[in-house]
């Protein structure tokens, strides 16, 4: 009896040991890992550019396997709307936030609060001031974007005549930086000596307001030869205004636009060429950066090299600035191909 009791006790201990070992294995390897939640906070909802950013983020999340994308933005492009969303994301305890900022300074306190809560915060496309993020992912080189926009328009108007700029909001970090380099190109490039910048107006990334601002330019400057609209909403609205007013060929247009929204205008001659980076790649790269920061693979400090899947490696430069790539020019010869994508 004693031997049977002892044998039973040994078997029970072995069984419990096996159970505990199995449970440990389940938690370690069998059970799915906790999802890393990355919020993509855009300037406003209903913008095709940012919807393409979302698609790129979801592509990266699928590749990484344990990432959940939370796509959010205010109904209109305001700093107040983004601040409210940041506070909500802090309450949700997301792991990372990638933000395209409506105002580089106004978002800093809320972004700092998020980082103090352990959330990794980066900006992309339109940056937050350095104090409010780990790094900023610029879609391209700021100087190259600004200068190349002037050169594109210069070629269209024969490097002569009055031109205007129709931007997004007056506080948009990226827009303002590009405009500064546009002005430098006009002042420094000998080819631009007969080009004159007569006005900079703001459509606030609203189609209606951008359209009205374009009409205002036509009326105020009857000798206007060209417009640069470095905003996807503004360039499409300006193209429509040119077309509606029968000014195709009389006022040239370039800017940063979505191929899907600008295809008809480019193929119809309203705009001979537009430029843009691929927003899909922007969302994809931002997601990889956030993932690597959350998992501790990277710190985001100057000199850090971050692996970003099919986009290769992204190097962090001074003041946390990282560059994704160069802008791409769309013409009637290639725009149909890209319009099918975004």
User: In this structure, are 236 and 204 located in the same domain?
Assistant: yes
Residue 15 has pLDDT above 90, yes or no: no
pLDDT(244) > 70: yes
266 and 177 in a common domain: yes
- Gap between the Cα atoms of 129 and 323, Å rounded: 16
Residue 7, pLDDT score? 41
pLDDT, tens digit, for every residue of 26-84?
Answer: 334 444 578 999 999 999 999 888 999 999 999 999 999 999 999 999 999 999 999 99
pLDDT > 60? residue 300: yes
118 lies in the same domain as 169: no
Identify the domain containing residue 58 by its residue range. 36-139+279-325
Return the number of other C-beta atoms located less than 10 Å from residue 62's C-beta. 11
Is residue 106 domain-shared with residue 184, that is, in the same domain? no
Tell me: pLDDT of 242 over 70: yes
Examine the domain organization and report whether 100 and 215 are in the same domain: no
Mean pLDDT of 314-340: 92
Q: How many CB atoms lie within 10 A of CB 93?
A: 10
| pLDDT higher than threshold 70 for residue 180 | yes
- The reply to whether 286 and 185 lie within a common domain is no
99 and 59 together in one domain: yes
Q: What is the mean pLDDT of residues 315-324?
A: 95
208 versus 328: the higher-pLDDT residue is: 208
Q: Is residue 96 part of a domain?
A: yes
- Compute CA distances 300 → 291, 296, 306, whole Å: 11, 10, 8
Looking up residue 154, the CATH number of its domain turns out to be 3.40.50.2300
Residue 190 has pLDDT above 60, yes or no: yes
Query: What are the tens digits of pLDDT across the range 246-261?
Result: 999 999 999 999 999 9
If one counts the domains in the chain, the total is 2
> Are 87 and 175 part of one and the same domain?
no
**Residues 98, 286 contacting (CB under 8 angstroms):** yes
Q: Are residues 92 and 126 located together in one domain of the fold?
A: yes
DSSP secondary structure letters along 252-304: EEEEB--HHHHHHHHHTTS-S-EEE--HHHHHHHHHHHHHHHHTTS----TT-
Cα–Cα distance, 327 to 58 (Å, whole number): 22
The CA distances from residue 296 to 40, 120, 244, in Å, are: 20, 11, 53
Domain boundary among 247, 276, 305: 276
Question: For 75-113, what is each residue's pLDDT tens digit?
Answer: 999 999 999 999 999 999 999 999 999 999 999 999 999
Question: Global pTM?
Answer: 0.77
Average pLDDT over residues 234-254: 98
């Amino acid at each position: 009896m004693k031997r049977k009791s002892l044998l039973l006790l040994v078997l029970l201990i072995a069984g419990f040991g096996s159970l505990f070992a199995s449970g440990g294995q389940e938690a370690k390897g069998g059970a799915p890992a906790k999802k890393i939640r990355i919020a993509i906070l855009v300037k406003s909802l209903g913008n095709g550019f940012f919807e393409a950013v979302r698609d790129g983020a979801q592509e990266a999340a699928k590749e990484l396997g344990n990432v959940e994308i939370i796509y959010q933005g205010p109904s209109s492009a305001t700093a107040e709307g983004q601040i409210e969303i940041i506070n909500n994301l802090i309450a949700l305890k997301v792991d990372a936030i990638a933000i395209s900022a409506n105002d580089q300074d106004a978002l800093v306190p809320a972004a700092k609060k998020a980082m103090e809560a352990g959330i990794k915060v980066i900006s992309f496309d339109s940056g937050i001031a350095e104090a409010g993020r780990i790094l900023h992912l610029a879609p391209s080189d700021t100087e190259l974007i600004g200068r190349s926009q002037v050169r594109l328009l210069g070629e269209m108007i024969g490097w002569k005549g009055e031109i205007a700029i129709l931007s997004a909001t007056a506080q948009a970090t990226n827009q303002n930086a590009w405009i500064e380099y546009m002005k430098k190109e006009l002042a420094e490039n000998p080819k631009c000596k007969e080009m004159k910048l007569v006005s900079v107006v703001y459509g606030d990334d609203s189609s209606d307001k951008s359209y009205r601002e374009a009409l205002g330019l036509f009326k105020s400057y009857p000798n206007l030869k060209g417009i640069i609209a470095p905003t996807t909403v503004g360039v499409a609205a300006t193209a429509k205004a040119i077309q509606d007013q029968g000014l195709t060929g009389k006022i040239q247009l370039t800017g940063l636009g979505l191929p899907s929204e600008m295809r008809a205008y480019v193929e119809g001659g309203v705009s001979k060429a537009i430029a843009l980076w691929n927003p899909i790649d922007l969302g994809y790269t931002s997601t990889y950066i956030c993932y690597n920061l959350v998992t501790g693979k990277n710190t985001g400090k100057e000199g850090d090299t971050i692996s970003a899947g099919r986009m290769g490696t992204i190097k962090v430069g001074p003041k946390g600035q990282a560059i994704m790539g160069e802008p791409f020019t769309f013409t009637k010869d290639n725009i149909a191909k890209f319009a099918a994508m975004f």
